[in-house]
Amino acid sequence: MIRRLDELVESHPPATTEAVEFLGAQFDAGLAFVHFPPGYGGLGFSRQLQPLIRDRLKDAGAPNYAARNAIGYGMAAPTILTMGSEAQKRRYLRPLFTCEDIWCQLFSEPGAGSDVASLATRAVKDGDEWLLNGQKVWTTLAHTSRFGMVLARTNPEAEKHKGLTYFVVDMHAPGVEVRPLRQMTGDAEFNEVYFTDVRVPDGERLSEVGEGWRGAIVTLMNERVSIGGAISPRGSGPIGMAVGLWLRRPLEQRDPVTRDRLTRLWVESETQRLTNIRAAAASLAGTPGPEGSTAKLAYAELNKRVYELCDDLLGPEGMLYDSYEMRRPEGAGGEAGGPQRMFLRSRANSIEGGTSEVMRNILGERVLGLPGDVRVDKGVPWSQVPRN
Ligand SMILES: Cc1cc2nc3c(=O)[nH]c(=O)nc-3n(C[C@H](O)[C@H](O)[C@H](O)COP(=O)(O)OP(=O)(O)OC[C@H]3O[C@@H](n4cnc5c(N)ncnc54)[C@H](O)[C@@H]3O)c2cc1C
């Protein structure tokens, strides 16, 4: 693998190679998603090796567009690999990695978030095409996306999980309307998306008809790993920011109580990092299991506490904010910002990708074997389930 990395950098010097060309060559060398099979951007190696590749290429000055296509890299790519036809894999994976095509995830709706299987967007067969109608919400990066992964109801008379089908939708198709939604950071990172008689060719189906939930699970499991399973260098990321702010304080303001708080969070951050390394080592190319929910839960709650400390370390400066002018970010996750922006953005961590309460339900049921959540709609056709 190291030889491949060296050859890639030698044959495509990052300083003089266009980013798209470099990323295309990285994909062809199997260094894009190293745990994917050869021919699809990988080498069939352990997922654990990807951070090594990332760091080595970063040192060589290579482009890294992971934040620009966060949903493409983290969720669309593994879903296409698992669910897609050969033609779909050939068509979508490479331009996804080079960021010629940005992807978004169209699951949540105004009446379906935690209980996403209750969604109401309809797809009705019309010859070789499907007619898509409905509204999605909180769609991160829909404004930059070329393609979306959409879950739609194709059989309202089946139970909620059984009447869903998974499609790829062209976000530039007639009838797709994207409207910004602002977050408390001031940014509009996500959107409302309206579908009005959008035509989706049957060849863009990612699942068998009525089997969309199986694909949704693949996406959601990978989403949790992609949000919570990142392996950054020791002491970097949010805790690195907190340590930096602590060291900026004059010596006489470095009180023992705050130092204890910082140390405890540093230890927790390192524990989370090592747990993620262990989980990555255990999983090869398959769909991640409930360890993704553990990582997502730990990440969300820890991130919020670390950024709270960062804001506290700033003192009154923590109340100063650069600008609430609406921005349309090109990347997800608030992009790297100052501590105040990251503090506000971190509040969403325990909502996006499944709330902390829902992660605890999954862990309770699937890991600890506790009794299941109450489900009043079990065995009832979706059309007969009361909803507002
Ligand atoms: C920054 C951000 C980006 C997002 N990006 C996307 C995206 O790109 N694509 C997409 O499809 N969605 C996206 N989402 C939506 C996200 O997945 C949902 O917000 C989330 O799943 C929660 O759904 P909801 O907002 O409808 O809340 P609800 O499901 O209505 O939940 C409300 C409250 O009830 C609690 N609750 C609900 N059910 C249970 C239960 N069974 N047990 C215990 N407590 C429960 C929840 O924990 C929460 O506190 C994004 C959200 C955010 C904040």
Q: What is the mean pLDDT of residues 298-309?
A: 96
Q: What is the DSSP string of 165-229?
A: EEEEEETTSTTEEEEEE--TTSB--EEEEEEEEEEEEGGGB-S-TT-HHHHHHHHHHHHHHHHH-
Q: Are strands 103-106 and 147-153 parallel, antiparallel or unpaired?
A: parallel
CA distance 192 to 209: 26
For the ranges 24-38, 120-134, 173-187, 365-379, the lowest mean pLDDT is seen at: 365-379
Q: Hey, which of 69, 71, 114, 141 would you mutate to test ligand 1's pocket, going by the most ligand atoms within 8 Å of its Cβ?
A: 114
DSSP 380: S
Return the residue whose CA atom lies nearest to atom 24 of ligand 1.
113
Nearest ligand 1 atom to the CA of 356 is 47
Q: How far is the CA of 354 from the centre of ligand 1 (A)?
A: 5
Q: How far is the CA of 108 from the centre of ligand 1 (A)?
A: 8
Q: Does residue 160 surpass a pLDDT of 70?
A: yes
Any residues with CB less than 8 A from the CB of 384 and at least 6 apart, and which?
none
Nearest ligand 1 atom to the CA of 114 is 29
pLDDT confidence tier of residue 281, bands split at 50, 70 and 90: confident
Q: How far is the CA of 355 from the centre of ligand 1 (A)?
A: 6
Q: So what's the pLDDT on residue 2?
A: 86
Q: So what's the pLDDT on residue 373?
A: 84
Q: How many CA atoms does the CB half-sphere of 201 hold within 13 Å? A: 5
Region of 289 please: left (phi>0), alpha (psi -120 to 50) or beta: beta
> pLDDT digits over 172-186, tens only?
999 999 999 999 999
For residue 134, which of 105, 163, 157, 111 has the smallest C-alpha distance? 111
Task: Report residue 255 CA to chain centroid gap.
Answer: 38
- In this predicted model, which residue has the larger pLDDT, 333 or 116? 116
Q: How far is the CA of 56 from the centre of ligand 1 (A)?
A: 36
Mean pLDDT, the chain, rounded, equals 93
Nearest ligand 1 atom to the CA of 104 is 8
Q: Are strands 164-170 and 176-181 parallel, antiparallel or unpaired?
A: unpaired
Alpha helices in the chain (DSSP H): 2-11, 19-28, 50-59, 70-71, 77-83, 86-98, 212-228, 237-248, 256-282, 291-314, 339-346, 356-362
Quote the longest CA-to-CA distance of the chain: 75
Q: Does residue 197 surpass a pLDDT of 80?
A: yes
Q: How far is the CA of 113 from the centre of ligand 1 (A)?
A: 5
Q: What is the mean pLDDT of residues 362-388?
A: 90
> pLDDT digits over 21-69, tens only?
999 999 999 999 999 999 999 999 988 888 889 989 999 999 988 889 9
The three-point CA angle 119-293-304 to 5° equals: 100
- In this predicted model, which residue has the larger pLDDT, 285 or 201? 201
pLDDT confidence tier of residue 334, bands split at 50, 70 and 90: low
Return the residue whose CA atom lies nearest to atom 50 of ligand 1.
352
Structure tokens given for 368: 């600890």
CA distance 148 to 198: 13
**Beta partners for residue 103, in sequence order:** 147
Q: What is the DSSP string of 230-274?
A: --PPTT-HHHHHHHHHHHHS-GGG--HHHHHHHHHHHHHHHHHHH
129 is catalytic: no
pLDDT confidence tier of residue 91, bands split at 50, 70 and 90: very high
pLDDT confidence tier of residue 279, bands split at 50, 70 and 90: confident
Pocket of ligand 1 (CB under 6 A): 104-108, 113-114, 138-140, 190, 348, 351-352, 354-355, 357-358, 361, 373
Give yes or no for a contact between 339 and 245, defined as CB atoms under 8 angstroms apart.
yes
Active-site choice (109, 223, 291, 352): 223
Q: Does residue 366 surpass a pLDDT of 90?
A: no
Q: Hey, which of 147, 303, 352, 373 would you mutate to test ligand 1's pocket, going by the most ligand atoms within 8 Å of its Cβ?
A: 352
pLDDT confidence tier of residue 117, bands split at 50, 70 and 90: very high
Nearest ligand 1 atom to the CA of 361 is 42
Give yes or no for a contact between 246 and 312, defined as CB atoms under 8 angstroms apart.
no
Percent of the chain with pLDDT over 70: 97
Return the residue whose CA atom lies nearest to atom 12 of ligand 1.
108
Q: Does residue 283 surpass a pLDDT of 80?
A: no
